[in-house]
Structure 1
């Protein structure tokens, strides 16, 4: 095949989460000699960033599939719009980057007779709320049945799928060359009035309860008892005022725990690297993550990571080598691990260096994109061969 293969990437989110950041990196580095990427999305931010990368962008509404009548109507309208766009631009492959987008892409792929690849980067509700198990199983079975290939971002996400024969695990990646462990954290500390000579523990994540900022504050308070000069940094904002009361509750909790004057809430930061540079230890205290991109970002900056041993974190952090894995929700053990590393600079450095090497070896975006391209090529070329094969 001499012509470029047109591929329509679909993502429903109007916010830039980890899935969208990973998609943008894929769009940035996908080989344009062989692929002609298009993006369909319903938010300005992702469309603007993709357009800046030279990607053809299209606005497509993919509203929530809630309620029997309205949900079905949304599904039909969105599916028809995607199918119409796919025909218009002449793509050979649909790629869904989110679960919601996958439901739209699955049916649209049948309408235009092109294969559909589902990149699953999420946990479903049933993974944390058992009452959704039956509905989620039906949804997964439906998407698995229509997808030509399923890519997951971790073995943790893959383990919940009923179509293991179609699944390939490809971990997320970052532009490792843009992360410098020698970056001076002093400018960030000065900006937020953090003394240069105190230990700093930090976390990064949207201000949502499941991200665990409340646990972080309780861990910080426990560490403060034995390391009284420790400071905490919480990086992250509240998207679209979802649970807008949560930031207020966090500040009240910090006050009640006696660490309000030793913790900084930065809000959303477009670039988290200066914040990571200012930290001595990175903590990930949230609920199970389907991946957890910020952890490899911290490791790329040479920081040891302390996290709960659930979700995809054991696939990222090597316990005792690049950080410390803690039994889930054990805040006392997490605090003890933080203290241990704060009091042992040599071990911190060794873990940070090992973490950097691990990211270079396993989570480099250039390697990740090549792996994804290989999966997409298998599907695209098989589709062409099947269409050209005489009946």
Structure 2
């Protein structure tokens, strides 16, 4: 296969991909027009392979490609696909799943042999404690020297389980009164307009309003993670969890649900802590243990970074995707 040349034909990042994770596959009134335009573009470019980088992109690509061009679908969601799953899996020559959990969810829709698991990777050289510090964010939040900060970073959507974070925060604050908490992320598409106000009301009812800061979308999310002493990631249905990799690359201990993507990233007690999904008491106890025994945080953080460098580098991810391309191109 000749040297690979890439030509992106649509825009969209991680947030756009997650919007397609809503139950079923939403389509806009212009979906048919978009499919026709995409078909014309494919006919003009005549690509060796089409890489559909989300479920929504793949839903447009399958009819546009008309089985005349090989398609690789990058599956990034754990949402139920229903009958659309059959259409999507069979419309791809190969499927790249970002985790074993995603691959398992697709198995019921078609031939599992079509699915290859390739975990997301990050640039751990750029995302490192030497390059990214959290001092400015800690000053912004008014934190004193040594005052612990526990963070949750992710879209402000219900499946991320922010109420569990708030309930854990109340328990943590009872044991470590000086602890403070930050919730970063926004409802980027306006699908849940009342969610933040509901969370603020929940924080009031739990008595942690003065301890929890809702920060909205942050362009400096990495600096916020660097400012944290612990990252808490409570959701049990995370397809992968890039933010977990980012925290680990910054040598921050992560407490996460022992399910789906996080369970494939974290080695329990070595590079982070895993707790039973939805067990708020154990979630809080894990964080309290890390706060009360700071001598354990640094070794866990160091091993976490080593694990990211070893197993989750962007170079490895790109190489594995290129291998899939070559296999598909050979037929």
Q: TM-score normalised to the size of structure 1? A: 0.77
Q: Which of these two proteins has the greater Rg computed from alpha carbons?
A: 1
Q: Deviations over 1:353-379 (max 9, x none)?
A: 110001001111011111101101221
Kept after mapping to 2: 8 A contact 1:207/1:246: yes
- Pick one of 75, 79, 84 that aligns with 1:139: 84
- Structure 2: 5+ residue runs without aligned partners? 19-24
Kindly indicate whether residue 94 of structure 2 is the aligned counterpart of residue 149 of structure 1. Answer: yes
Q: Deviations over 1:301-323 (max 9, x none)?
A: 10111011111111011111111
Kept after mapping to 2: 8 A contact 1:10/1:94: no
- Pick one of 54, 57, 69 that aligns with 1:98: 54
Shift of 1:245: 1.4
Kept after mapping to 1: 8 A contact 2:236/2:258: no
Q: CA RMSD in A?
A: 2.1
Q: Deviations over 1:230-288 (max 9, x none)?
A: 11011111213321211112222222212111122221111312111111111001241
Q: Where does residue 110 of structure 1 map in the other structure?
A: 66
What secondary structure sits across from 2:210 in the alignment?
A: helix
Kept after mapping to 2: 8 A contact 1:321/1:351: yes
Q: Where does residue 170 of structure 1 map in the other structure?
A: 118
Kept after mapping to 2: 8 A contact 1:12/1:100: no
Q: Normalized per residue, which structure has more helix?
A: 1
- Pick one of 328, 339, 354 that aligns with 2:303: 354
Kept after mapping to 1: 8 A contact 2:15/2:188: no
Kept after mapping to 2: 8 A contact 1:9/1:95: no
In the alignment, the residues of structure 2 paired with residue 242 and residue 331 of structure 1 have an alpha-carbon distance, to the nearest angstrom, of: 27
Q: Where does residue 26 of structure 2 map in the other structure?
A: 64
1:1-391 matches, cutoff 5 A: 9=8, 16-17=14-15, 19=17, 64-65=26-27, 76-110=32-66, 113-125=68-80, 136=82, 138-161=83-106, 162-182=110-130, 183-382=132-331
What secondary structure sits across from 2:146 in the alignment?
A: coil
In the alignment, the residues of structure 1 paired with residue 43 and residue 60 of structure 2 have an alpha-carbon distance, to the nearest angstrom, of: 15
In the alignment, the residues of structure 2 paired with residue 18 and residue 306 of structure 1 have an alpha-carbon distance, to the nearest angstrom, of: 26
In the alignment, the residues of structure 2 paired with residue 328 and residue 277 of structure 1 have an alpha-carbon distance, to the nearest angstrom, of: 25
Kept after mapping to 2: 8 A contact 1:175/1:365: yes
In the alignment, the residues of structure 1 paired with residue 203 and residue 86 of structure 2 have an alpha-carbon distance, to the nearest angstrom, of: 44
